[in-house]
Amino acid sequence: MSGQASSAGPVLPVAVDAMGGDKAPKEIVAGALRAAEEGFAVVLVGHPDRMGDTGGLPVIAASEVIEMDEDAGRGVRTKKDASLLRAAEAVRDGKASSMVSAGNTGATMASALFRMGRIRGVSRPAIATPIPVLGSIPTVLIDAGANAECTAGWLVQFAQMGSAFATQRFGIAKPRVGLLSIGEEESKGSPLVKEAHALLAAGEAGPDVNFVGNVEGRDVMSDRIDVVVTDGFTGNVVLKTLEGSMNFAMSAVLGAFGTNEDTRRAGEVLLPVLLPMATELDPETYGGAVLLGVDGICVISHGSSSSTAIHNAVKVAAAAVSEDLVGRLASAVAA
């Protein structure tokens, strides 16, 4: 894998795009510093004069920024000294083990793909996002937005990569892989879903993929499935819908506690129980999504990421490198 040190060599740093995200650079740098304080090797990428106090962390200079609302393709083509591109190049050139960015998602994907390249045999990289499940291991949703249109063969590869990722990230020996549809019956779904179901049911993903059939939207946040496979358009709609629903539910519950004296007293009793649940359901707890299929580790954090999310994203990236996620993915696709 590109960007990894040898077993006898030094640990390469995680390259953090300091300029990407709604709260950059302050929150991004703060998250990187928190990770560094815990012993993780980190290098910041961005404009040195705009980062503020970097706490002595090493910096890879980059004079340009691909903005959040900028066209991803144009930004990658024209801004050759953008922080995103420099971070991906650091991985490609063996100066960093992996990269983390809360910046423009399309540009992050393009930078990783164009600079790192694809794992041999991978048709299309896909975004794997952990979806929180209360009291249980998160569900891996793949693809969460990289490929708006897919073929059935790509969905088979997403099943392979998602399964390997669930094993690496969450230690699941034989992840249960489901295909997102509008019903559990194999006759349900779009032509794409029906074709993908036939391939997966016939074992086209290989013996290491434990395909359990179709699943529905209600199953994504349940403990009955470990990996949910879908096209990037549907996956992104599911992801954003769940985010909005969780934010609404938490705001409604917390807001109800301050309406009168009775609800305030109820809040005093219930908040100590609800706050740990809120942390478990908070996307920032998981650091971000991982772009699977590129020849390197790329963690894509939410655009509104705080220092907590970046801190956790660095840990996710470092673990993926140390546990050879890219090698696992290559083996899964080769199967």
pLDDT digits (tens, 9 = 90+) for 274-323: 777 777 777 788 889 999 999 999 999 999 999 999 999 999 999 999 99
pLDDT of residue 9: 57
Q: Which sign, positive or negative, has the C-alpha torsion 68, 69, 75, 79?
A: negative
- What percentage of the chain reaches a pLDDT higher than 70? 96
pLDDT of residue 252: 87
DSSP code of residue 294: B
Give the C-alpha separation, 301 to 217, whole Å.
23
Q: Name which residue leads in pLDDT, 156 or 242.
A: 156
The alpha-helical segments, DSSP class H, found in the chain are: 26-37, 72-78, 83-92, 105-116, 152-170, 191-201, 232-256, 261-281, 307-322, 325-334
Look at 54-63, 80-89, 274-283, 318-327 and tell me which has the smallest mean pLDDT.
Answer: 274-283
pLDDT of residue 264: 85
How far is the CA of 160 from the CAs of 124, 163, 169, 189, 292, in angstroms? 12, 5, 14, 21, 10
pLDDT of residue 6: 42
pLDDT of residue 285: 81
pLDDT of residue 25: 96
Give the C-alpha separation, 271 to 273, whole Å.
5
Most confident by average pLDDT, 9-13, 171-175, 272-276: 171-175
Q: Is residue 141 within 8 Å of residue 230, measured between CB atoms?
A: yes
Q: Give the pTM.
A: 0.91
Cis peptide before 13 (omega within 30 of 0): no
Confidence of residue 181 (pLDDT cuts 50, 70, 90): very high
